[in-house]
């Protein structure tokens, strides 16, 4: 094997493959993509909806090229569960059923990552599977110049040391190289979530009838409250063609304090009276577990050093917005890292000074802008356990009062509703929390409500 390449990319997930493909498309042909699994996607887990905004940029004809998407997602639903009830919000727009399908599709990573890496290979990337990058090799000045690889299983093509002008690390959430290099802290249990997921097979027509779907459309559900036994996290269901993905994700600190295990929480979720009918008769095809970096903007590690860049989950790029965009930030950072490397190749300078333009690109894009915007959200949510364990029950009890049919006069019902709300949640704590969340999101009618606050302050 040729021992020196222009670029080595570690990890063939969305971030790494986007970086490798972008480089190859822009004429950098000696790019090697290392993947520890026996094929890309074999070890990968995602809910998963993939956001294709960036894929659309680098490969606008991805659907024509046979990208193995399961269903496009015109409908998203959010629900609060208590043991006996469900408070549900749903939004569907049929426009999202037409190209570009709002850039959101369900995928199974085993199929999608494999296809995506094959497209990178077609563009000229050398993909090496069963190959783990264990550590970086540096020159006497500390510049990263290569990686030490180890073979995992099967018949290795090559192993040993390989070298490159620059290395892009797309190892995912638990990046051991970033840790060894002191670029990120050991993840603390407050800022890392553990997620477990099952793929459950159901006949296509059953899925379409049960979830009210037409043709290739699908739906994505996010559940809070009793879905994860009142912990800081959520449950999810995504419809694929002939199976559904169901799982839960919970912040590790919470699950440890509650002395629960993720598998029991998933079983509890599946047994909920509003969930059980959705998966009835299904057969479990796959079970997987993975970590999600939830630290947000404040936990972004050092992103580059001489000859080296971090991208995707390895760099902590997951938006803490309610839409959970991990795949789009991964792909965007992969693309921007590749663009930075192309500039460095043009200058034949791989120092951190040249590579620092990666930060400018990220800061001028939605990646850092969105992460900054939601930077205070993890902290507020961490300090608001009542949102997950007490309020769902409180709201359900208020709504039960609203919807109970009885002979009680409505005047008394209204009084009961107010009393219940005040007792279960409290008007003052509710308003304080809404303001805290609005401030943390630096939005949510920020300008409008600020004007009201200012008006009240000046006139009363
Ligand atoms: C349960 C769950 C649900 C999620 N749901 C969604 C969702 O619905 N939508 C969304 O956008 N995001 C979701 N995410 C987040 C999303 O999966 C990640 O943000 C995204 O996969 C990050 O891509 P990545 O390429 O950085 O890392 P990964 O996808 O983790 O890929 C890393 C790759 O590197 C390989 N690798 C690791 N170490 C080495 C090494 N040393 N040498 C060689 N290869 C290595 C791995 O095998 C893997 O292929 C979810 C995550 C989880 C866990």
Q: Please give the pLDDT value at position 457.
A: 63
Q: Indicate whether residue 58 lines ligand 1 (CB < 6 A).
A: no
Q: Indicate whether residue 136 lines ligand 1 (CB < 6 A).
A: no
Choose the final residue of a domain: 239, 271, 293.
Answer: 293
**Pair (30, 168) in one structural domain:** yes
**Pair (139, 255) in one structural domain:** no
Q: Indicate whether residue 313 lines ligand 1 (CB < 6 A).
A: yes
Instruction: Indicate if the pLDDT at residue 230 is higher than 60.
Output: yes
Q: How many percent of the chain have pLDDT more than 70?
A: 93
Does some domain include residue 83?
Answer: no
**Pair (253, 392) in one structural domain:** no
Instruction: Indicate if the pLDDT at residue 451 is higher than 70.
Output: no
Q: What is the CATH number of the domain that holds 269?
A: 3.30.9.10
**Pair (174, 318) in one structural domain:** yes
pLDDT category at 206 given cuts 50, 70, 90 is very high
Q: Please give the pLDDT value at position 386.
A: 94
Q: Which domain holds residue 346?
A: 4-68+108-184+301-373
**Pair (20, 129) in one structural domain:** yes
**Pair (63, 173) in one structural domain:** yes
Does some domain include residue 142?
Answer: yes
Query: Is the pLDDT higher at 195 or at 294?
Result: 195
User: What mean pLDDT comes out for the span 292-308?
Assistant: 92
Q: d(Cα 329, Cα 117) in Å, to the nearest integer? A: 18
Q: Which of 54, 327, 337 to mutate to test the pocket of ligand 1 (most atoms within 8 A of CB)?
A: 327
Residue having the nearest C-alpha atom to atom 12 of ligand 1: 326
Choose the final residue of a domain: 293, 318, 333.
Answer: 293
Choose the final residue of a domain: 342, 373, 404.
Answer: 373
Nearest to 20 by CA among 5, 35, 8, 2: 8
Q: How far is the CA of 10 from the centre of ligand 1 (A)?
A: 12
Q: Indicate whether residue 318 lines ligand 1 (CB < 6 A).
A: yes
Q: Please give the pLDDT value at position 44.
A: 75
**Pair (282, 207) in one structural domain:** yes
Q: Please give the pLDDT value at position 295.
A: 85
pLDDT digits (tens, 9 = 90+) for 255-271: 999 999 999 999 999 99
User: What mean pLDDT comes out for the span 1-7?
Assistant: 82
Q: How far is the CA of 151 from the centre of ligand 1 (A)?
A: 20
Domain count, the chain: 3
User: What mean pLDDT comes out for the span 369-395?
Assistant: 91
**Pair (367, 389) in one structural domain:** no
Q: d(Cα 349, Cα 336) in Å, to the nearest integer? A: 17
Q: How far is the CA of 277 from the centre of ligand 1 (A)?
A: 30
Q: Please give the pLDDT value at position 414.
A: 95
- Strands 4-10, 31-34: pairing is parallel
Q: How many CA atoms, within 13 angstroms, populate the side-chain half-sphere of residue 147?
A: 31
Q: Please give the pLDDT value at position 442.
A: 75
Q: What is the mean pLDDT of the chain?
A: 92
Residue having the nearest C-alpha atom to atom 50 of ligand 1: 46
Q: Indicate whether residue 325 lines ligand 1 (CB < 6 A).
A: yes
**Pair (146, 198) in one structural domain:** no
Instruction: Indicate if the pLDDT at residue 155 is higher than 80.
Output: no
Q: Please give the pLDDT value at position 449.
A: 60
Note the pTM of the prediction, 2 decimals: 0.93
**Pair (14, 152) in one structural domain:** yes
Does some domain include residue 273?
Answer: yes
Q: What is the CATH number of the domain that holds 42?
A: 3.50.50.60
User: What mean pLDDT comes out for the span 32-53?
Assistant: 90
pLDDT category at 377 given cuts 50, 70, 90 is confident
Residue with tokens 């007792």: 423
| Distance between first and last Cα of the chain | 77
Q: How far is the CA of 407 from the centre of ligand 1 (A)?
A: 55
Taking a C-beta distance cutoff of 8 angstroms, is the pair 23, 7 a contact? yes
Q: d(Cα 376, Cα 446) in Å, to the nearest integer? A: 15
CA pseudo-torsion sign 201, 202, 208, 212: negative
Q: Please give the pLDDT value at position 45.
A: 74
Does some domain include residue 392?
Answer: yes
Does some domain include residue 96?
Answer: no
Paired tokens of 385: 């356990």
Q: Please give the pLDDT value at position 412.
A: 96
Instruction: Indicate if the pLDDT at residue 87 is higher than 70.
Output: yes
Q: d(Cα 274, Cα 417) in Å, to the nearest integer? A: 24
pLDDT digits (tens, 9 = 90+) for 158-192: 568 999 999 999 999 989 999 999 998 887 788 88
The neighbouring-strand residues paired with 293 are 192
pLDDT category at 374 given cuts 50, 70, 90 is confident
User: What mean pLDDT comes out for the span 102-124?
Assistant: 97
Q: Please give the pLDDT value at position 454.
A: 65
Q: Please give the pLDDT value at position 48.
A: 84
**Pair (150, 10) in one structural domain:** yes
pLDDT digits (tens, 9 = 90+) for 325-372: 899 999 999 999 999 999 999 999 999 999 999 999 999 999 999 999
Ramachandran category for residue 433: left, alpha or beta (phi over 0 → left; psi -120 to 50 → alpha): alpha
């Amino acid at each position: 094997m040729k021992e020196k390449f222009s670029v080595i990319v570690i990890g063939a997930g969305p971030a790494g493959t986007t970086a490798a493909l972008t480089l190859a498309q822009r004429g950098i042909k000696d790019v090697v993509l290392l993947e520890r699994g026996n094929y890309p996607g074999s070890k990968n887990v995602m809910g998963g909806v993939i956001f294709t905004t960036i894929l659309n940029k680098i490969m606008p004809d991805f659907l024509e090229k046979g990208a193995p998407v399961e269903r496009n997602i015109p409908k998203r639903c959010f629900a609060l569960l208590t043991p006996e009830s469900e408070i549900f919000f749903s939004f569907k727009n049929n426009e999202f059923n037409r190209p570009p399908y709002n850039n959101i599709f369900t995928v199974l990573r085993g199929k999608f990552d494999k296809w995506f890496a094959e497209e990178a290979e077609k563009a000229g990337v050398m993909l090496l599977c069963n190959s783990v990058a264990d550590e970086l090799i540096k020159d006497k000045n500390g510049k990263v110049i290569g990686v030490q690889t180890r073979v995992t299983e099967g018949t290795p093509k090559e192993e040993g040391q390989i070298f490159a002008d620059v290395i892009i690390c797309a190892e995912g959430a638990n990046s051991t190289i970033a840790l060894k290099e002191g670029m990120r802290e050991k993840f603390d249990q407050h800022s890392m979530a553990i997620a477990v997921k099952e793929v459950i097979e159901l006949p296509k027509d059953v899925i379409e009838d049960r979830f009210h779907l037409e043709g290739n459309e699908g739906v994505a559900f996010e559940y809070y409250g009793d879905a994860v036994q009142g912990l800081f996290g959520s449950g999810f269901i995504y419809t694929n063609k002939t199976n559904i993905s169901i799982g839960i994700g919970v912040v590790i600190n919470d699950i440890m304090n509650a002395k629960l295990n993720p598998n029991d929480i998933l079983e509890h979720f599946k047994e909920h009276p509003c969930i059980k009918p959705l998966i009835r008769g299904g057969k479990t095809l796959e079970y997987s577990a993975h970590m999600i970096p939830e630290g947000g903007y404040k936990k972004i590690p050092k992103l580059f050093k001489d000859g080296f860049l971090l991208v995707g989950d390895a760099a902590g790029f997951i938006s803490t917005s309610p839409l959970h965009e991990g795949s789009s930030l991964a792909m965007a950072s992969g693309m921007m890292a590749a663009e930075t490397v192309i500039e460095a190749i043009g200058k034949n300078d791989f120092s951190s000074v040249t590579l620092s333009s990666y930060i400018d690109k990220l800061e001028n894009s939605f990646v850092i802008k969105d992460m900054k915007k939601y930077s205070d959200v993890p902290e507020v949510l961490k300090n608001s356990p009542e949102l997950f364990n007490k309020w769902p029950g409180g709201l359900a009890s208020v709504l039960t009062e609203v919807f109970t049919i009885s002979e009680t006069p409505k005047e008394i019902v209204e009084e009961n509703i107010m009393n219940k709300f005040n007792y279960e949640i409290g008007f003052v704590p509710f308003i304080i929390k809404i303001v805290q969340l609005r401030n943390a999101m630096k939005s949510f009618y920020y300008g409008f409500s600020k004007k009201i606050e200012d008006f009240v302050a000046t006139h009363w």
